[in-house]
Chain A
């Protein structure tokens, strides 16, 4: 641990030297409000703040960590009333309310700098609204199917490459007395993940984006095709029963106990699965297979971000902090397996040597030609997302209500955009 800290400090020093060479020494106070309240992310932001503080002797860094869920509502108050210099948030449409209210600082100038422009190109789109950039990403993670390798081996199954394989695998798993997929849809968004993938595989990335942007009616036949695929799985009994009563964490034991063979989830599910006792031999990952061979594969990879509120006092220091966070070495460090355990946003960084991260990095960098989506509730505006995800949950329990659900979503679409 000490050795590690030494290396980190060393890294920080080199980065700092490079940075201070170009910028005048920073002074004053840098106030950071962060939603990185879970244990691992908390350690990361505390370390970032401390290292940045050490780099700039005249600058005092004040860090406030706020509970991740509470942050989502508090951000409105502090952005208008008592703005910090740096704040966490999410990419894509989730930024929209603050961007349109003029509460986020336009940081397009940072994105002009070659260091950022070249290395962060892959996430530029997610940070862009109205042609400007409004923040920088610091981490992202892949979504995909995490499955019980040992159960697949026991039943002689391969990672599926197409929809037929996906379903025939599932049938064999069902025949062995297990469920194919665990899911906890109590808080709705997990069902949004299923919709994202089914829709992107059925109709492609561009259609999906147009749909979440409100350009396509929900009663469209292509949307129905997506739900028809979903229904095939539901009718097979692929999902665990009573999923509407569980949170995503409460759905984990089904997979740990071997009652369900797989979980469509973000990479953050890996840590609790490993903690629950699953070894690397038992746990593996595959990309959601193609459904319609004519559409290019596209993935969900939600990006978490840093922004400068427009009411910030020390914008110069804030910009320097953003540069610091996205720099290659810091990215490698904070996204390492012992820290965030996710993917670095800087293409000059290296990915931690972890089975899941490697597969995820490989998938996102070379096998996602269609595009990279954020996630349903980040791509669609809040009002549409909440009504739609509620509809998805209802559909998963009562697939016969589909017409009614789609009409409701369509009504919301006509009002929300």
Chain B
């Protein structure tokens, strides 16, 4: 009642006053939006723009139109990197079922289970650089554990990181180690939220084993699966550090992915082709955009369903 009288008591209510309610959310958003514009949107636009230039980072940029992109079209190194990116995207997803399997295995109450859980989580805690080093020793052709084992069973040596056909798989295997641990922890928290009454009811109906898992448990783990999917895709697309540590893109560029190739062309010792690097970055961005679009869409659907 008094609220309604308030505006009348002031002779000329200001525009801000009248629209306070409507303005508030935008004001709260403003700092975030500004940062997002400045640190994300603006650089994206800049990269797009730069990809139409030839620039060594020092002199004047020269506008070359689509030349960088036509060069990408028949650049074999780019093709190899692109394929490797897809291998990473696809095979990295193995971390999700592997993480689920370990989580199910660890989701029990025995003495010391916390210790086991932390041990399984350990690879995610250590730095990717350490993971890379450990695996490059594991693969080492002269003293690595892998070849010791192969030798023990009478197989010849395998130089995983020196073989252009195997190298990417070798690095992905190294990447899966921490990523599986990450998915495992997501599923462990997800399993805590599984409704025991539903499990009970299913059991009364005679469901067990795989049927129980498939029809009762996994549907309830949907949120965890979604997050695991998101972080794994992101992890696969930023698979830079392992490659840099384990092979430096080699042998002869066969383990490069787009992000590494972009770095090499634009920022490494022999690089400084900023425009070309930007063109690679744009392609990488478009691939990411597909996934980002999907994530946003599915989150939007979820929100709608939740209402």
Chain A interface (Cβ < 8 Å from any Cβ of B):
69, 72-73, 76, 80, 97-98, 100-101, 103, 186-188, 241-242, 244-245, 377, 382-383, 385-386, 390-391, 393-394, 397, 408, 415
In the complex with contacts A73-B267, A241-B141, A97-B56 CB distance below 8 A: yes
Residues of A within 8 A of B159 (CB): 241-242, 244-245
Of B76, B251, B264, B272, which one neighbours A393 at CB under 8 angstroms?
B251
What residues on B are CB-neighbors of A186 within 8 Å? 247-248, 250-251
Query: With A187-B248, A390-B252 in contact, do A103 and B270 touch (Cβ < 8 Å)?
Result: no
The minimal Cβ–Cβ distance linking A405 to chain B, given in whole angstroms, is: 9
CA distance A245 to B141 in the complex (A): 8
Other contacts beyond A245-B162, A382-B272, A391-B252: 16, CB < 8 A: A76-B57, A97-B272, A101-B58, A103-B58, A186-B248, A187-B248, A241-B159, A242-B159, A244-B252, A245-B159, A245-B161, A245-B251, A377-B270, A382-B270, A382-B271, A386-B271
CA distance A343 to B103 in the complex (A): 62
Binary flags per residue of B110-148, CB closer than 8 Å to A gives 1, else 0: 000000000000000000000000000000111000000
> Could you list 21 A-B pairs, sorted by A, with CB under 8 Å?
A72-B269, A73-B269, A76-B57, A76-B58, A97-B58, A98-B58, A101-B58, A186-B250, A187-B248, A242-B159, A244-B162, A244-B250, A245-B140, A245-B161, A382-B269, A382-B270, A382-B271, A382-B272, A390-B252, A393-B251, A397-B252
What's the Cα separation between A69 and B244 when bound, in Å? 14
Counting residue pairs across A and B whose Cβ atoms lie within 8 Å, the total is 66
Q: Does B235 contact A (CB under 8 A)?
A: no
Q: How far is the CB of A81 from chain B (nearest CB, A)?
A: 12
Docked complex Cα distance between A53 and B264 (Å): 39
Residue in A97, A383, A386, A397 whose CB lies within 8 Å of B251: A397
Please indicate which of the listed interface residues A98, A377, A385, A390 has the most CB atoms of chain B within 10 Å of its own CB: A390
Overall SS of chain A's interface? helix
Number of residues of chain B lying within 8 A (CB) of chain A? 26
A230 to chain B, nearest CB (A): 15
**Contact pick for A242, options B76, B162, B247, CB 8 Å:** B162
- In angstroms, Cα B79 to Cα A408, docked, is 14
Q: Which residue of A lies closest to B136 (CB)?
A: A245
- Write out the residue numbers on chain B whose beta carbons fall within 8 Å of the beta carbon of A241: 141, 159
Nearest residue (CB) in B for A411 is B74
Contacting residues, chain A, for B270 (C-beta < 8 A): 377, 382-383, 385-386
Chain A: CB-nearest residue to B56: A97
Contacts of B252 in A (CB 8 A): 244, 390-391, 393-394, 397
Closest B residue to A385 by CB, please name it. B270
CB of B10, distance to nearest CB on chain A (Å): 54
* Bound complex: CA A73 to CA B57 (Å): 11
The smallest beta-carbon distance between B50 and chain A, in angstroms, is 16
Residues from chain A with a CB closer than 8 A to the CB of B190 are: none
Nearest-CB distance from B187 to chain A (Å)?
A: 36
Q: Are A80 and B58 in contact (CB under 8 A)?
A: yes
Residues of A within 8 A of B247 (CB): 186
B189: Cβ under 8 A from any A Cβ: no
Give the complex CA separation of A385 and B271 in angstroms.
10
